[in-house]
Amino acid sequence: MNQKRIKGTESLFHNSSEYLHKIWVKDFSRILILIPVLVLVLSCTEKPSESPSTQSPNILLIVADDLAYADLGSFGGDIETPNLDQLAQEGIRFSRFHTAPLCAVTRAMLLSGNFNHVAGMGSQGLVTGIPGYEGHLSDRIAPLPALLQEAGYHTYMAGKWHLGETPETNPAKKGFEKSFALLVGAGNHFSGRGIFEEFPEAPFTENGEKTSWPEETYSTDFYTDKLISYLESNQNDGKPFFVFAAYTSPHWPLQVEEKYWKKYEGKYAHGYEKQRELNLESLKKAGMISPEAILPPLHPRVKPWDSLSPEEQLKEARKMELYAGMVDNLDHNIGRLIRYLKETGQYENTLIVFLADNGAAAEDFYYSDDYGPFLQENYTDSYEEMGKENSFISYGPQWAEAGAAPFRYFKGYTTEGGMNAPLIIAGKGVESKGKINSAFLTVMDLAPTFYELAGVAYPDSYQGKPVQKPAGESILSLLRNERDEIHDSTYVFALEHRGRALLRKGNWKLVNVESPLEVANFELYDLSKRLDEQENVKELYPEKYQELLLDWEKWSKSVGVRFPTPKPGEGL
């Protein structure tokens, strides 16, 4: 009986093993079939975004068009800019940041890190075959967005391009993955109507293709919408972004919704001369200028406020109300970008840089010989229509002088008023909070800063051609509170545009405001003593004057300064 049980048990074990073997073989076959499917599924599954500590820093570059030095609340201005003021509290305000004297010139230097002649914008509005005067980004530089794109960044822009109108010079060919660009220097803020005779319809492209302005949209609102849509399109792929918010506000024509300018109604009835004095004192109180700073004489083009009729004064005050409304709206939209970054968890890993592209704008083309006839035929300057889509208004040299306090002159000049612009930097890598830095910086320093932040090595050649290294220097060590200044007393910064020129070396400044350029017209100022450029000391310091003249001669030859004939007009 025991033997039967043993045989039965052996039989049961054998049958069970055979059964289990069949099951294992069958299931293993299924597993083998499923492995490729699992691999495919896993490869298609969206990878989680990198944590802010491991992802490369994002960069948000915001440029205001023709914003004056004294406008922002954090700089002492009386226009409501709460979002930019908060950004200033979280970062650093720079009181001696220098751009170029005109829009396109600054943009060429900004996106190249080099001098304007090296970058191809020796004369805004002039397109030639002469090196330095191509009228677009030259092949002597590697464009900032292109290098960041090659480093794995998403690159987006919306707003004013002004660096070429041909397909070859479009943002889409300079490294921007997505772009909505106004190709020329200015446009109607409410529609696609042109403001220049050669462009009766303003030229826009999206991603390199011709497009039109959407109806019932306002420029600053729409550019912000577009940038947020670009960011949303690749939000969770783990790649960093470089965003260029190239706003066209508060550039003329002064146009904005009534709800933005109404809050300033009556605020500027005291006139531009009084406003200039108020700005001087508020800048001192904010710590942006020395308590001893004084105002230079007004530009000869400025009419005394008291010489205006009551009707003229009303119209002048409305100009400033509209301008303030545009700045107010600009701040609102910058706040929208910041809120988006916070809501999506990207704010802590983003370096935010805000600047103006030049000094306050004094052009008033509605009454000019070159642009006036077209503008007067297609727009109105009547008081009742001011600020609307059919209105063309500029605030002119009178209000530009107020916004440029305490500096001499305004946009278009190589004086401090034309080039000393607001700069605020906050966010990733900025250690100081609420600090004011008075070190001399230029717009050429920003591209090298972004390269260091992103770990990008500037190449010796780009697209098969040798390129020049940036003339600016990274300011990351300054942002990290490791240094107080970047450029020492031997650093030479120079610029020429349409005969107006400057050379800066330490606190010494060689400057010419006359055109055409005559070396004998250069003046010498010691900016460590005064910022108003009123005490010409070239007779007191002849050796220093000659030293800087030699520096000028060397620099101008190195970049290829020439004097081709520009287009008519005062610049855009």
Q: Is residue 95 classed as helix, strand or coil in its secondary structure?
A: strand
Contact in structure between 262 and 329 (CB atoms under 8 Å): no
Which whole-number Å values give the CA distances from 534 to 348, 407, 409, in the listed order? 44, 10, 11
Annotated catalytic, 189?
Answer: no
- Give the CA count within 13 Å in the CB-facing half-sphere of 525: 21
User: Rounded to the nearest 5 degrees, what angle is found at the Cα of 416, between the Cα atoms of 163 and 331?
Assistant: 60
| CB-CB neighbours of 82 under 10 Å | 13
Closest CA to 110 of 68, 70, 59: 59
122's CB contacts (< 8 A; 6+ apart) are 116, 130, 132, 133, 496, 497, 560, 561, 562
Contact in structure between 60 and 351 (CB atoms under 8 Å): yes
Contact in structure between 172 and 163 (CB atoms under 8 Å): no
Tokens 């005067």 map to which residue? Answer: 133
Give the C-alpha separation, 272 to 131, whole Å.
42
Closest CA to 224 of 107, 340, 57: 340
Name the DSSP letter for residue 455.
T
Per annotation, catalytic residue among 162, 189, 487, 497: 162
**Which tokens go with 194?**
């042109």
Closest CA to 316 of 297, 329, 302, 330: 302
Contact in structure between 40 and 296 (CB atoms under 8 Å): no
Backbone angles phi, psi at 251, to 5 degrees: -60, 145
Give the C-alpha separation, 427 to 58, whole Å.
10
Per annotation, catalytic residue among 103, 136, 189, 497: 103
Give the C-alpha separation, 310 to 313, whole Å.
5
**Which tokens go with 342?**
């916070």
Closest CA to 59 of 255, 232, 259, 231: 231
Contact in structure between 394 and 318 (CB atoms under 8 Å): no
Give the C-alpha separation, 83 to 334, whole Å.
7
Annotated catalytic, 162?
Answer: yes
Contact in structure between 81 and 93 (CB atoms under 8 Å): no
Q: Would you name the residues annotated as active-site residues?
A: 103, 162
